[in-house]
Structure 1
């Protein structure tokens, strides 16, 4: 009997700060969990080996909150390729799988080719150039998913008189404490603005 498993991928810029593409809802939610929690394999700076492989999240011993979120989504293995040009790292291509285990050599090489192609695509992309997609999951589309989070971070920074980094930490804490996605917590902050 063959084992059934699922794959998904997502592309984020700026160490997970901006999700620009995802293949399915689980990959989007895993990226959002990393961004909300501020932990996870996509936020690692260690690319001494490409891809960065977490063959079994349940036994990895890292990122306890992220592992719990991934388990709830049935994610067992995560693989991260840097989206970079030379030493400049722009973001990550993150894949997940519902079964544990390493990638084959061919899968690792294919992921690197995709990450390299994404680098070219992202470097050529310009907002409003007519090359924008019309939603998540469309091949070739670059869609910004966290604009409201960045806006709400700015609002909190001004309201609380704190630096942007601290405002983002507070917004993340609000989302985590309420068990809601970060984008929903951001919308709450923005809905309090005067018209």
Structure 2
């Protein structure tokens, strides 16, 4: 318990050092590290909706700033902008997470008030993203004995936080006789329609499967 509290405090300190409410890291569409529940929920929304600032990194590797969501994202990604504002988010900032010269993911931070980062904060964000890349990759789940690498974990822990999402996708694919891609789309749609997180939706499907209940 002490270790978990220490990791959570460290994760929160990383966000505060940048003047942010929270930060999260995703790699290959997998949420692997976050400082707080709001950060995790923001990454969840981008994954569920296929919208959000992470999509800006399909081209380019520079940090991206969205200092005012209501002004800059409402037209491009209206669903994501509306959901983010429901969470009380006013600004988003995204840095590439790199291992050497290779971009392996993104680090997304949020603020509850609009406004751009200072040049110093932006530069510190790049340094933190590089440091966290090393932290995450050296603790990446590899089937070992570390508790950090299993399950959904908590803030500040390294793990495959969407493990149940992948499992539930497989359950739906087999049960409905559809492709994994279509099963994931259905899971995303169910999550969005019910207003529950993707991981909670997936957990419910797995629990019903274990009880042999029909959906």
After TM superposition, give the deviation of residue 123 of structure 1 in Å: 2.8
After TM superposition, give the deviation of residue 184 of structure 1 in Å: 2.0
> For 1:144, what is the secondary structure of its paired residue?
coil
Aligned counterpart, 2:207: 191
Alpha-carbon distance change, 177 to 107 in structure 1, aligned in 2, over 3 angstroms: same
Instruction: From 48, 61, 70, give the equivalent of 1:36.
Output: 48
> For 1:19, what is the secondary structure of its paired residue?
strand
Deviations, residues 71-103 of structure 1 (Å, cap 9, x unaligned) = 111111101111123563322110001111211
After TM superposition, give the deviation of residue 129 of structure 1 in Å: 5.6
Map 1:93-108; keep pairs closer than 5 Å.
93-108=107-122
Moved >4 Å (runs of 4+): none
The gaps in structure 1 that reach 5 residues or longer are none
Q: Work out the CA distance in 2 between the residues paired with 1:39 and 1:169.
A: 14
| TM-score under structure 1 length normalisation | 0.85
Q: Work out the CA distance in 1 between the residues paired with 2:161 and 2:69.
A: 26
Alpha-carbon distance change, 155 to 131 in structure 1, aligned in 2, over 3 angstroms: closer
> For 2:92, what is the secondary structure of its paired residue?
strand
After TM superposition, give the deviation of residue 186 of structure 1 in Å: 1.0
After TM superposition, give the deviation of residue 28 of structure 1 in Å: 1.6
Aligned counterpart, 1:89: 103
Aligned counterpart, 1:71: 85
> For 1:45, what is the secondary structure of its paired residue?
helix
> For 1:81, what is the secondary structure of its paired residue?
strand
Aligned counterpart, 1:110: 124
Q: Is the 8 A contact 1:47 1:82 kept in 2?
A: no
Q: Work out the CA distance in 1 between the residues paired with 2:177 and 2:107.
A: 35
| TM-score under structure 2 length normalisation | 0.77
Number of equivalent positions: 187
Supply the RMSD in Å over aligned alpha carbons. Answer: 2.3
Q: Is the 8 A contact 1:125 1:131 kept in 2?
A: no
Aligned counterpart, 1:27: 39
Instruction: From 155, 162, 165, give the equivalent of 1:137.
Output: 155
Aligned counterpart, 2:169: 153
> For 1:152, what is the secondary structure of its paired residue?
helix
Q: Work out the CA distance in 2 between the residues paired with 1:89 and 1:182.
A: 26
After TM superposition, give the deviation of residue 194 of structure 1 in Å: 4.3
Alpha-carbon distance change, 126 to 22 in structure 1, aligned in 2, over 3 angstroms: closer
> For 1:44, what is the secondary structure of its paired residue?
helix
